[in-house]
Amino acid sequence: MSAFKLARVSFRPLYLPSRSKSSRTTLGAPPDKARCLSEKLKDLSVEDPAVHYKVNIGYALKKLSRKDTVAEHVKLLKENKKNKDLELLARNNQLVIPINEVDEVNSDIMGPVHCRAIAEHYGVYQHLFGDAYFHPVVNMEILYADETVPVFRGNVVKPAEATKQPSVRFQSKPDDLWTLVMTTPDGTSNDVERIHWMVANIKGSDVACGEEICQHIQPLPFEGLGYLRYIFVLYKQEGKIDYADLAKQLLTTRFFSTQKFYAKREDVLTPAGLAFFTSTWDSSVNDYYHTALKQDPPVFEYDFPDHYYKKQVWFPLKQPFNLYLDRYRDEKEIAKEYLIKKLKKTDPFKGDLRPKYPFPNAIPIPEGTPAWLANEIKKERLGRARAADYS
């Protein structure tokens, strides 16, 4: 037996701290306590209520008692339930709801509040009156195109549908005087509006008998600008107003500022009605410029930033030479080549002279054609790739 005694040794594993990807600490506050982007932006754009506030320059809304409104509603429901004629019509599916009466009730009660909310969403008050607003307490009915195209609050009306002066109707006392202005804050580069129509000293609700300060012209949203807002504002006058100086100014230019116009006459004018629509370019805009102004309308294009490509080299490795060279050419030059190729096979009276086959690539390609050119021919026959981009 060995002189050395075997001692029992116990081994305890040693754990070394390791930092894995999943155990890394997050930067900043934990996700359950951190603020989202909208909360941070809200804190950065804090406005002082003593400085940044909106001023009501219009008429006050009717104060409606909820108790009286609910009582009237309950009373009407009870009367309708007792009405045997309504019950009989409903059973026979002959009951017709008077939509016009429903709209009138809605416009009187919640119409001004809803109209103001929509106008604020579209930025109407901000771009016309700055830090002021008003409740449209007077409901206007504006109809274009022989009273077939209405103007509500932001609906789309094409310029071709609004070439003629619209019909405007609203409720008024016989002796009240009004001013109606139609402007657009969009489409100008110097932050001013363009006036399209103005009628002043309207007695009662007869717009045709008012004094036309500025003749009506159709909406002129230029090509490339997108949707433009065209806004009708109805002002109530305290008395007859002389707009002779403004009429002379509008003879030479259509530029207008609603904020300055109202600030100069705020003692005798009060905004009471509002309606607006949006419009985008169509061919009638070009027709108006060619016939009325004897000039071409401006066309706007978005200036896209140039796509970044690596610097061109003499010997590009593993690159198709035709696509590589065209990458550094002007897009308009390539489009011109495809257009010339297309016009060579197009007759002005018969149209496209190229034969149409059910299986275009079944036609054999001439022998000796390079592989890259054969691929281009196949794509062009199928109308794919560049043939689709520049067709």
Tokens of 348: 């002005």
Question: What pLDDT is recorded for position 197?
Answer: 94
CB–CB of 58/270 below 8 Å?
A: yes
Q: Report the C-alpha gap between 188 and 85 in whole angstroms.
A: 59
Question: What pLDDT is recorded for position 40?
Answer: 86
* Sequential pLDDT tens for the chain (391 residues): 444 455 555 556 665 555 555 555 667 788 788 888 888 888 887 777 766 778 899 998 877 777 878 888 888 888 888 888 888 888 889 888 888 777 777 777 788 889 999 999 999 999 999 889 999 999 999 999 888 899 999 999 999 999 999 999 999 999 999 999 999 999 887 778 999 999 999 998 899 999 999 999 999 999 999 999 999 999 999 999 999 888 887 777 888 999 999 999 999 999 999 999 999 999 999 999 999 888 999 999 888 888 888 889 898 888 888 888 888 888 888 889 888 988 888 888 888 888 888 898 888 998 899 888 898 889 888 888 887 887 7
Percent helix, strand, coil in the chain (nearest 5)? 35, 20, 45
Q: CA of 367: how far to CAs of 193, 322, 360, 373, 375, in Å? A: 66, 20, 17, 12, 13
Cβ-based neighbours of 369, under 8 Å, separated by 6 or more: 377
Question: What pLDDT is recorded for position 64?
Answer: 74
Q: Report the C-alpha gap between 210 and 216 in whole angstroms.
A: 13
Q: What are the backbone angles phi and psi of residue 228, rounded to the nearest 5°? A: -115, 150
Q: Which helix (H) or strand (E) holds 180?
A: strand 177-184
The single-letter DSSP state of residue 32 is T
Tokens of 70: 């609910």
Domains in the chain and their CATH numbers? 107-293 (3.90.280.10), 321-389 (no CATH)
Question: What pLDDT is recorded for position 237?
Answer: 94
CB–CB of 128/185 below 8 Å?
A: yes
Nearest CA to 364 among 355, 353, 354, 377?
Answer: 377
| pTM recorded for the entire structure | 0.70
Q: Report the C-alpha gap between 88 and 85 in whole angstroms.
A: 5
Q: What are the backbone angles phi and psi of residue 382, rounded to the nearest 5°? A: -85, -5
